[in-house]
Structure 1
């Protein structure tokens, strides 16, 4: 029967053969930088911002420019700046999601490799027991089926990892093999008050504020002796409608933001649960290691405990990524990005 060191050696050989041992590596920050550099949406937003800046400078330099056209140009620049920030945030979110997916597929592949090594050892042990008359043919058949299933899981994990890395390469505009050297960063969870205050930068609120300011400026330009009463009343109605729209927009967004914030808190709770589960799995593995050293359990039982520990580590990784993703979604919601 194989011992744990031999099982681990099999796993390492599989890892190396599948391309994990590469000299090129990328950090999370490098992935974000490359993704933003390669983002067509971000490039377009940069161009739009530069164009809006030129338009404002041009109209400000015009001595005959009126107040409302200048205001509209200023508003256009503010919207372009907001769109640029949203595009940068969106590109970062897409990159972080692809990064996290690739990391999770790495973990899934490692779990599949460990499971395959255990299945191979189990089959070999069952065959030896069968030859010694200590196992039945049915037990051997079950071990063979488990090995076939483990092989299929490994193939699926390899394909999923390959697809995840292909997606990441496309997103970053690079080719070749590389490894991801760290993990997704998790920002500190802000207070709900801080989150709600951030709505001042929300694109929908800014657009509503612009509509109100423009309506007020148009009313100021209309409410004089040169305008008919119906035109003045129509201008006042536009101000009232814009004010009502702004109030409703704020109310609706606050509800949506609170829902997004609750999703962050829920993800934080799941992360804490995963941390507790990992702590328990680590304690179990440590106990099994001691039992193995004392000769109380078999190498296969120790390997199974190691697999359980690795699975808990993978679940913790997923929970961390989910919390980071919920925080990014909260940032997108605050800014009004899509």
Structure 2
């Protein structure tokens, strides 16, 4: 009941236009793949309980039931992470697209003003016809950028609505926070809960148990040798799978580091743009540049701020990708499960 009360409150808050990142990502639990994985986990729980209560259940039956339950839990966790990552990406796309739209709108206003200035200067003999033509071309480019940005913002918002299964309101979204990934050792430990890790290791466990349960008094040498071969093959498969998963995790870890460096560079560019803007403001106050030049400097600073936000969102996406590789469920997003 509590689950549906929380869901209803989220619906009401979204209808009021109060959508924030945490509320949006928390709806990952409502995504069809996550619901399906959760039902599968419930079935596996019930099957394990039945097997444990069955006095005729064999040791291999108990191992299989426990393995199916563990795998179902791992698949539910991974489905939840993937759904959260998908919603996070859609959410930040809205932020970037709508910021780009606002920037394009201001650029369009500036281009219109630039054409007016060029035409006025041309009438007074202070500019050539080529200057007017250039200003008109700039205006046309600004109009095209605005139309493209408007379409992009509308598409991004509709994609988010489609993922959430409800209206996301028309108000500007709250900024997305950066998630801080755990340390390498914690990620390696979590890797053992990844379905792609569990499956081959469970096969190895089952093959090893089957081999140990063979009674030489009843099993033929051929059966024992076949079981031993299966056990060795399963162990080799588990080792190969683990190496591949560790390599993928390392790649995702390095990608997070690279995106963090990109963000640092974007921060530096933004700081420089702000410093340049401050100089432009002082020059404007001293009468050395026009208000049009000042507005252009302000637009350049906003562009640098947008690029910085895009870099931050790319870092956030890489963190989610790292979570998926390790099957790490961020409790700061989903709480304790």
Asked if structure 2 preserves the Cα contact closer than 8 Å seen for 1:26 and 1:178, the reply is no
Partner of 2:244: 252
Instruction: Tell me by how many angstroms 1:23 deviates.
Output: 5.9
Separation of aligned partners in 2, 1:249 and 1:23? 48
Counterpart contact for 1:208–1:246, Cα < 8 Å: yes
Question: Would the aligned equivalents of 2:256 and 2:319 in 1 still touch at CA under 8 Å?
Answer: yes
Question: Which residue is 1:210 aligned to?
Answer: 202
Instruction: Look up the match of 1:221.
Output: 213
**In structure 1, what is the Cα distance between the partners aligned to 2:141 and 2:169?**
28
Matched, 1:132 2:116: no
Q: Take 1:65 and 1:120, find their aligned partners in 2: how far apart are those partners?
A: 80
What is the distance in 1 between the residues matched to 2:174 and 2:231?
A: 53
Q: CA deviation at 1:176?
A: 6.3
Q: Which residue of 2 aligns with 1:271?
A: 263
Quote how far apart the aligned CAs of 1:195 are: 2.7
C-alpha separation in 1, matches of 2:84 and 2:328 = 15
| 1:335 shift after superposition | 2.0
- Which of 220, 229, 242 aligns to 1:237? It is 229
Give runs of ≥4 in structure 1 deviating > 4 Å. Answer: none
- Residue of structure 2 equivalent to 1:13: none
Structure 2 segments unaligned to the other structure (5+ residues): 1-14, 330-337
1:305 aligns with one of 277, 297, 301: 297
CA–CA distance in structure 2, aligned partners of residues 221 and 247 of structure 1? 23
Are 1:97 and 2:97 counterparts?
A: no
Larger deviation: 83-92 or 25-34?
25-34
Aligned with 1:173 (options 146, 165, 168): 165
In structure 2, relative to structure 1, the CA distance for the partners of 1:99 and 1:176 (3 Å cut) is closer
Query: What SS does the aligned partner of 1:186 have?
Result: coil
Q: Which residue pairs with 1:16 in the alignment?
A: none
- In the TM superposition, residue 296 of structure 1 has moved relative to its aligned partner by 1.4
- Write the distance in 1 (CA, Å) between the matches of 2:232 and 2:23: 49
1:58 aligns with 2:54: no
Q: Does the 8 Å CA contact 2:190/2:328 hold for their aligned counterparts? A: no
Give the secondary structure class of the aligned counterpart of 2:192: helix
Equivalent pair of 1:45/1:83 in contact (CA under 8 Å): yes
Are the equivalent residues in 1 in contact too, given 2:78–2:194 (CA < 8 A)? no
Q: Which residue of 2 aligns with 1:320?
A: 312
Asked if 1 retains the 8 angstrom alpha-carbon contact of 2:74 and 2:193, the reply is yes
SS in 2 for 1:177: coil
Question: Is structure 2 residue 81 aligned with structure 1 residue 86?
Answer: no
**Does 1:33 find its partner at 2:26?**
yes
Conserved 8 A contact 1:187-1:324: yes
Q: Partners of 1:25 and 1:149 in 2: how far apart?
A: 35
Q: Which residue of 2 aligns with 1:183?
A: 175
Q: Which whole-Å deviations, capped at 9, do the CAs of 1:98-117 have from their partners, x for residues lacking one?
A: 00101000111011011101
The structural deviation recorded for 1:170 is 0.6
Task: Between 159-168 and 290-299, report the one with greater CA deviation.
Answer: 290-299
Give the structure-2-normalised TM-score. Answer: 0.90
CA distance in 1, matches of 2:188, 2:52: 34
Distance in 2 (CA, whole Å) between partners of 1:252 and 1:96 is 27
Identify which range, 180-189 or 81-90, moves more after superposition: 180-189
CA deviation after TM superposition for structure 1 residue 196, in Å: 2.6
